[in-house]
Amino acid sequence: MMIMRSEPTTPCAWANTLVSMWGPRFPVEVRQIAYEYSRRFNDPVLTISEADIPSFEGALAPLRKRGGWAILYNPSIISPGRINYTLGHEWGHYLCHRNQSPAGFQCGQSDVLGGTREQEREADRFASYLLMPLDDFRAQVGNQRMTLDLLRHCGDRYAVSLTAAALKWLESTPLCAAVVVATNGYVLWFRRSAAAERARIFYRSGMELPLGSLARDGDNLRAAEGINLPPGVWWSRPTREVAIFADRYEMTISLLVFEELGVLPDGWEDEEVEDTYDRFSSSAR
């Protein structure tokens, strides 16, 4: 295999390199980039196509006879945004992991064959940074209030799902915010912003959606600005909840913004710990 000396070593560095070679142009053409860029290797991506891979969303499969790789996605995925993200994820496995797993990868939402949890996280990070470079994302959102319309703008610009755009926003915002995904009234998983992590906001998988929340009891799920909820529903502070997706009885995805809290002073909680540590280590010296 031919290895360039300057080849990136992390998912984010790979994504940045490709974005600067091809862009910035949005939405990012994952197929074109994967075909063109991988030609420099002697095991290029030769096929990107639908394939019947039950219970998996996407796969990176070696083509043993032809000495290259296929990126495959499940034909049951109909949203172009999710197809795009799936292609980005598998292309990430190709760039970062194919030498570690010569048998390839099969990736689904709950089940994965071939990859470790860390490799899955890396492939997701790559897809996120390839499709939605942080600088451009920040330029789109600025200090605007996050609403369904603004999420749709991001979803359209980058050709990703509203959920993928919302998770990117969590990564980039200084606000205290979270995304909660639930099914049949119970939390499946959640993600939070750095400020929410500092404030120790947490929703256990399997917990019941809180009484009075939009996802559970809301009449007006489509309000673009979301609704304001009093303290005690989602957290001990007032919360704005926007329903990113809701089919009421099966799946709900809520964006929570703990606005009244505003921006937590950066690292206010860590600061005390550091101060103590500094004092301790300077006295120890």
Contact footprint for Zn ion (CB under 5 A): 105, 107, 115, 120, 123
- Least Å from the CB of residue 16 to Zn ion: 20
Closer to Zn ion by Cβ: residue 102 or 267: 102
Closer to Zn ion by Cβ: residue 105 or 126: 105
Closer to Zn ion by Cβ: residue 120 or 259: 120
Q: What tokens were used for 190?
A: 């959640």
Task: Please report, for residues 48, 123, 161, 167, the alpha-carbon distance to residue 158 in angstroms, rounded to integers and kept in the order given.
Answer: 20, 17, 9, 13
- Least Å from the CB of residue 14 to Zn ion: 15
Q: Looking at beta carbons, which residue is closest to Zn ion? A: 107
d(CA 39, CA 164) in angstroms, rounded, equals 29
What is the Cα 80 distance to its own chain's centre? 16
Closer to Zn ion by Cβ: residue 88 or 210: 88
- Which residues in the chain belong to E strands, given as ranges? 45-50, 58-63, 68-73, 105-107, 112-113, 177-183, 186-192, 227-229, 239-246, 251-257
- Least Å from the CB of residue 120 to Zn ion: 5
Cβ neighbors of 168 (< 8 A, separation 6 or more) are 128, 132, 134, 137, 154, 160
Whose CA is closest to 132, among 98, 163, 97, 110?
163
- Least Å from the CB of residue 10 to Zn ion: 16
DSSP 144: P
- Least Å from the CB of residue 281 to Zn ion: 42
Closer to Zn ion by Cβ: residue 112 or 223: 112
d(CA 44, CA 98) in angstroms, rounded, equals 11
- Least Å from the CB of residue 108 to Zn ion: 9
Closer to Zn ion by Cβ: residue 81 or 92: 92
- Least Å from the CB of residue 41 to Zn ion: 19
d(CA 217, CA 35) in angstroms, rounded, equals 47
Closer to Zn ion by Cβ: residue 69 or 105: 105
| CB-CB neighbours of 265 under 10 Å | 10
